[in-house]
Amino acid sequence: MTLLSPSFKVRHLILAVALITGPGFVNHANAQIAALLVDLDSRTAIDLGTLGGDWSYVSGINDAGQVVGNSYTADGNDNYHAFITGPDGVGMRDLGTLGGRWSEAYGINDAGQVVGNSYTADGNDNYHAFITGPDGVGMRDLGTLGGTYSIARDINDAGQVVGGSYTANSGEHAFITGPDGVGMRDLGSLGGGWSYANGINDGGQVVGGSIRADSNSHAFITGPDGVGMRDLGALGGGWSYARDINDAGQVVGYSFTAEGNSHAFITGPDGMGMRDLSTLGGSWSNALGINDAGQVVGDSLTGEGNSHAFITGPDGEGMMDLNSLVDLPQGVILSQAVDINNNGQVIAMGVMGVIPEPEAYALMLAGLGLVGFMARRKKMENLKRY
């Protein structure tokens, strides 16, 4: 796919959708994007609010219900900062930056340590992975694998951090750190020049995607402490990508099928046996998060051509439309479920108001959920992440 330029922001992506799809989208401009915490026990969805700007995006949740993500601030200059909430999503707090103008949070452990990436203060628009102390206090630069950029995507309860970083020779490789984010280590690849880590469990097993020697990109899993990268294969197509892992080693993500469609998948323990989770009736689905019971969340095209959030039962059984399980206000659609904790709390993105046409709607949500963090990156011509 064609990658966006470094200065291309998510808000501009939505504008681009409007231009591509024409006046039909512009007439629906009263649709608003909301970051929500869904409680399945009470069937409620709570709007998490913003840091003063137009919208927020959620990325991770721990078992206390603390949520992390990024939000536009109130200064009106398209700045956005990483945030953390209190338990059960209450009280959004700005985590600041590493000295630059923006930051984004992606993962949180049960101690409330947050990881993500931020522009630094050097004035060259470089960004580095960061970690905080418990409860999101004190942002610390994790450095890189010798290159200019790094992004932290997840953290386990020992404080081991995973993500991707440029190397000294301008490649990009998955990394893992030691406890409390100390000591970034290159995880290598499946034989090609690129790899990227998205998730880590408490055993230190890491998952993500990597280019192979045949130029296809496949999902991978490692052993404990990030040792030994193993190809997870695909659902019959030539490409797969892993997004999350639970403590049993069940992996979720998405893969091309033999028919050329992208479907969500789950594996058994230790990444064994990739299984198609199917869809909500449409042609594609995408798994983003899993808890220790094996409940999977993500998004899928419905038979009517709309993108809806989904959740499964334990062990990935029975994909259900999350909208059918929650008492939502009139006009609110849960379009993408991003993560789930062990207490059944789900963080999701929703659209409030009039919904755009299906094609524009899907592109808008894809931009928010999957392209947003890539949009500001440099030198990504060789990157085949999505």
pLDDT at 371 over 50: no
Higher pLDDT, 196 or 371: 196
What is the per-residue pLDDT for 362? 47
For the residues 298-304, what does the mean pLDDT come to?
96
| Domain segments of the chain as ranges | 33-375
At residue 89, the pLDDT reads 97
Write down the pLDDT at residue 77. 64
pLDDT at 364: 45
In the chain, pLDDT over 70 holds for what percent of residues?
A: 82
Which helix (H) or strand (E) covers residue 366, if one does?
helix 358-366
Is the pLDDT score of 315 beyond 50? Answer: yes
Report the chain's mean pLDDT, rounded to a whole number: 86
For 232, how many CA atoms within 13 A lie in the half-sphere containing its CB?
Answer: 39
- Joined together, the tokens standing for residue 277 give 């989770």
For residues 57 and 68, give the distance between their C-alpha atoms in angstroms, rounded to a whole number. 9
For 243-279, write each residue's pLDDT tens digit.
999 999 999 999 999 999 999 999 999 999 999 999 9
* pLDDT value at 107 more than 80: yes
pLDDT tens profile 53-100: 989 999 999 999 999 999 999 986 678 999 999 999 999 999 999 999
Give 282-309 as a DSSP string. Answer: EEEEEEEEE-TT--EEEEEEETTS-EEE
**Number of CB atoms found within 10 A of residue 217's CB:** 23
Token pair recorded at residue 22: 């024409």
Q: How confident is the model at residue 160 (pLDDT cuts 50, 70, 90)?
A: very high
Cα separation, 360 vs 109, in Å, equals: 34
- Rounded mean pLDDT, 319-329: 95
pLDDT in tens, 2-13: 222 222 333 333
What pLDDT does 31 receive?
59
pLDDT tens string 113-140: 999 999 999 867 789 999 999 999 999 9
Per 3-state DSSP, what percentage of the chain is helix, strand, and coil (rounded to 5)? 15, 45, 40
Longest dimension (CA), the chain: 53
pLDDT of residue 204 exceeding 90: yes
Question: What are the tens digits of pLDDT across the range 216-238?
Answer: 999 999 999 999 999 999 999 99
The answer on pLDDT for 22 being more than 60 is no
Fold entry, domain 33-375? Neuraminidase (2.120.10)
Dig out the tokens for 280 from the structure.
């909500």
